[in-house]
Amino acid sequence: MCTLLFVKVIGLTLLWLLALVLAFGPMVYGMYLCLTNDRLSGGMKALWCLVFIFSSLLALVVYLALYKSRGDEEEQE
């Protein structure tokens, strides 16, 4: 009985951890991309960070569509 309870607690903890990563992962990654983008001004970086905080996954898709293009990868090489 005690072992079954322990397994349930571990499973629930892992489920919550996965939910947190899926919720905050796109926000953190998007903010990292935004803050390291030299083409954006300080005001635009602040605005994008606020957008990432309020709508992380949708904002990440829009940001990648607007600011990450094939040309960026070719310039870096």
Cα–Cα dist 50/70, whole Å: 26
Q: Is residue 35 part of a domain?
A: yes
- Helix, strand, coil % over all residues of the chain, rounded to 5: 85, 0, 15
The reply to whether 3 falls in a domain is no
Give domain status of residue 76, yes or no: no
In a domain, 62, yes or no: yes
Coil vs helix vs strand at 41: coil
Residue 55 inside a domain? The answer is yes
Q: Give residue 50's domain range.
A: 23-67
Count CA atoms closer than 13 A to 22's CA, side-chain side: 6
Residue 58 covered by a domain: yes
Instruction: Return per-residue pLDDT of the chain as tens, 77 residues.
Output: 667 777 788 888 999 999 999 889 999 999 999 999 998 999 999 999 999 999 888 998 999 998 876 555 545 55
In a domain, 48, yes or no: yes
pTM above 0.85, yes or no: no
What is the number of domains present in the chain?
1
